[in-house]
């Protein structure tokens, strides 16, 4: 089966621009998570979808970040406008129904560089 797919793999933008990251979870995985790793720091939880509903968005840093999962399939994470501190690697992960975070499959990540 296909794994979790993320794109772009790397994005370089100017401060103030907009970037949209996309995640395609494993087919049938209701749970979809976004995590972020800022340079040299720990990987931090951003939010969790169950199907199309946001279950927990307590990790979203501010209102410049908008995550959507229309139709409960793929998800997008938009950063608008991007700031320097948004640079890092954004990971997406998914898991089957009723399993939560204990059986996650991660994507390769999208590296965002804001200049």
93 is an interface residue for another protein by CB under 8 A: yes
Please tell me the distance from the alpha carbon of residue 8 to that of residue 78, in angstroms, as a whole number.
12
Q: Pick the closer one to another protein by CB: 82 or 94.
A: 94
3 is an interface residue for another protein by CB under 8 A: yes
What's the closest the beta carbon of residue 104 comes to another protein, in angstroms? 7
**Binding another protein by CB under 8 A: which of 44, 51, 64, 78?**
44
């Amino acid at each position: 089966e296909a794994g979790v797919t993320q794109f772009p793999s790397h994005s370089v933008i100017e401060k103030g621009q907009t970037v949209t990251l996309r995640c395609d979870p494993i087919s049938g995985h209701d749970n979809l998570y976004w995590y972020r790793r800022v340079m040299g720091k720990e990987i931090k939880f951003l939010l969790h979808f169950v199907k199309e509903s946001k279950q927990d968005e307590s990790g979203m840093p501010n209102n410049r970040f908008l995550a959507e999962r229309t139709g409960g399939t793929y998800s997008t994470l938009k950063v608008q406008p991007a700031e320097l501190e948004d640079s890092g690697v954004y990971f997406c992960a998914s898991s089957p129904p009723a399993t939560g975070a204990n059986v996650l499959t991660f994507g390769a990540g999208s590296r965002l560089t804001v200049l």
